[in-house]
Chains A and B, each alone.
Chain A
Amino acid sequence: MSMTITEKILAQHAGLDEVVPGQLITAKLDLVLANDITAPVAIKEFAKFGTEKVFDRHKIALVPDHFAPNKDIASAEQCKFMRDFAREQQIEHYFEVGRMGIEHCLLPEQGLTLPGDLIIGADSHTCTYGAVGAFATGVGSTDLAAGLATGEAWFRVPESMKFIFHGTKFQKWVGGKDLILYLIGKLGVDGARYRAMEFAGEGIAALSMDNRFTICNMAIEAGAKNGIIPPDDKTFAYLEGRARRSYPLLYSDLDAGYMAIQEFDVSEIPLQVAFPHSPENAKSAQEASGIKIDQVVIGSCTNGRLEDLRMAANILRGKKVHPEIRLLVFPGTQTILRDAMREGIIDTLIEAGAAVSTPTCGPCLGGHMGILAKGERAVSTTNRNFVGRMGSVESEVYLAGPAVAAASAIKGQIAHPEEVS
């Protein structure tokens, strides 16, 4: 029977020859992830199981990245609670501050997410790992607890939607963030609710891994269960030297069933900005030009990778951050930070007037390191611009890619890179 890549991964992990959309299955997990916000709740639930040990200490990743380095005493207690559990259970993939990164940048970089894997994470942006051809989805802490104890989770096999991006003639500065914001603008925040989003076409094939991670990262913002890109030579090159396990090569059958197929031409997609207070309010960057701002955030699990920082540095090189703007930069991992240092990217950003941080989710979710006051506006390369997301309920967040963010930091208002070049 014909199946999509998502269906094949689910079938394989459920020990079945085939699955169909709507089917309820129990499947084995390759990786179970939690962070300092979601792990404490999961660990307390885990304690309710009649088992003392986790199912496999090598298949669990715990990352203190949200309110870490500890932002206050209560956060310090949560991080400590997770750390104590990691030590007691001898969790192999616990990443301490100094070695940690933003989880969805870190785990692929460490080679822990591979094609054909089935991964759950107690973080909605777990869908990021679809960029390497894994089925990865966000769950809550109780599902996570069950995963820690049993190594299994239940799933309803999702219907698949296919998004084909034709062409390779991208408009200047356009990247993965613009493609996904454009798509969410068309679909709405529940346009792919409960579904698998499969990305295909020459346009996707032409994109780097960093850009592909950005696209899959935001599948959840359309309500999707997972986003996925079939592995290709770029995937294999990325995994070279990282993967420490063999992995299967699974691809959608040519006659696999999709509940919808939508096609786009990449040459027609301009730089995007999503207006408050929803990622679906995507418009062209030109339409946002001139909106006065107070802060710019570049980084996060969405756009905190080397190419994102390089793009920002290319625009900021030899220029200064506007005197009334705070530009905050959050590299995704220590490796990304060091690579950016070696390339001179960090020097360029600091020379321009940016504050560069150790990796943390920090301001993205209004945690710490860049909270907005009442009436303030930010341009951010993060993934959500809900009411109060980055601070005061009377603040506003405009989502964009690193090019628009860097240009806006120079201009002091939302700007297309053309305006500052």
Chain B
Amino acid sequence: MGIAFKFGHDIDTDVIIPARYLNASTPEHLAAHCMEDAGTSFAQKVKAGDIMVGGKNFGCGSSREHAPISIKACGIKVVIAESFARIFYRNSLNIGLPIMECPEAASEISEGDEVTVDISTGTIENKTTNKQYQARSFPPFMQELIRAGGLIPYIEGRKKNA
């Protein structure tokens, strides 16, 4: 179970990790400044296992992989959004940051709600409101990518099986 941190529509990667921190790329450094420009002291409050919730087009803008790395390194278990920007979506799958597309859950979960998720089945439960949701399923290829733990283990695994 994790606590939900809620953000709005069109959360861009400059807000997730401002460019002024891109002069280094260690996960710890990036985690310390995650969502800094949202002005909510998120990085100081977040705990391992918490949930991030966004609106439509989450992760738009720059291709910086530093954005999902910073979120993952904060301890966020999963990002639930109405929809994801294309590059952020790829990057998250590639580095093994779980994401779930679920417009209903993304709009109805409030900041501070207690939420549990089952990433393998895509089920989301808001313990605070006692509501359940089902996230959209991934295409089979992306499920394989997720199961492998990201792009590099996926490619390495395929090479071994070839």
Contact = CB atoms under 8 A, between A and B. Distances in A.
Are A and B a genuine interacting pair, yes or no?
Answer: yes
Interface stretch (B60-68, B103-111, B115-123): B60-68
A50 interface: yes
A116 B50 CA distance: 45
A103 to B, nearest CB: 12
A388 B65 contact: no
A385 to B, nearest CB: 10
Contacts of A189: 10, 57, 60
B61 A384 contact: yes
A190 B57 contact: yes
A399 interface: no
A388 B62 CA distance: 14
Interface in B9-64: 10, 12, 14-15, 18-20, 22-25, 37, 39, 56-57, 60-64
Interface string A124-141: 101000000000001111
Given A139-B63, A223-B86, A150 B20 contact: no
Nearest to A79: B23
A75 B25 CA distance: 11
B23 A386 contact: no
A386 B141 contact: no
B94 interface: yes
A38 B64 contact: yes
Contacts of B139: 24, 156
A223 to B, nearest CB: 6
B98 interface: no
A146 interface: yes
Given A365-B14, A365-B62, A366-B18, A393 B39 contact: yes
A71 interface: yes
Given A38-B63, A193-B57, A365 B19 contact: yes
A257 interface: no
Contact of A142 (B15, B95, B141): B95
A194 B85 CA distance: 8
Contact of A124 (B25, B57, B61, B152): B61
Contact-residue size bin, chain A (C-beta under 8 Å from the other chain): 35 or more
A24 B25 contact: no
Query: Which of A121, A126, A139 has the most chain B CB within a 10 Å cutoff?
Result: A139
Query: Which of B24, B60, B95, B141 has the most chain A CB within a 10 Å cutoff?
Result: B60
A74 B61 contact: no
Interface in A140-156: 140-143, 145-146, 149-150, 154, 156
A150 B162 CA distance: 14
Contacts of B22: 37, 66-67, 367
Interface stretch (A40-48, A302-310, A374-382, A408-416): A40-48
B150 interface: yes
B151 A389 contact: no
Nearest to A156: B139
Contacts of A122: 63, 65
B19 A366 contact: yes
Nearest to B65: A140
B83 interface: yes
A154 B141 contact: yes
A143 B145 CA distance: 12
B60 A190 contact: yes
Query: Which of B56, B65, B95, B159 has the most chain A CB within a 10 Å cutoff?
Result: B65
A282 B46 CA distance: 36
B126 interface: no
B23 A71 contact: yes
Contacts of B1: none
B152 A142 contact: yes
A40 B20 CA distance: 16
Contacts of B10: 189-190, 278
A68 to B, nearest CB: 11
Contacts of B61: 124, 220, 384, 386
A389 B87 contact: no
A245 B127 CA distance: 61
Contacts of B25: 40-41, 44, 78
Nearest to B82: A190
Contacts of A139: 63, 87, 90-91
Query: Which of A44, A78, A220 has the most chain B CB within a 10 Å cutoff?
Result: A220
A59 to B, nearest CB: 18
Contacts of A389: 14, 19
24 contacts: A37-B22, A38-B65, A41-B69, A49-B155, A67-B23, A72-B23, A124-B87, A140-B91, A141-B91, A142-B95, A143-B94, A145-B152, A149-B155, A190-B56, A220-B61, A225-B86, A278-B10, A366-B14, A366-B18, A366-B20, A386-B12, A386-B15, A387-B14, A389-B19
Interface of A: 24, 37-38, 40-41, 44-45, 48-50, 66-67, 71-72, 74-75, 78, 121-124, 126, 138-143, 145-146, 149-150, 154, 156, 189-190, 193-194, 220, 223, 225, 278, 365-367, 384, 386-389, 393
Given A139-B90, A387-B15, A393-B39, 7 more contacts: A48-B152, A49-B156, A140-B65, A142-B65, A154-B141, A365-B19, A367-B22
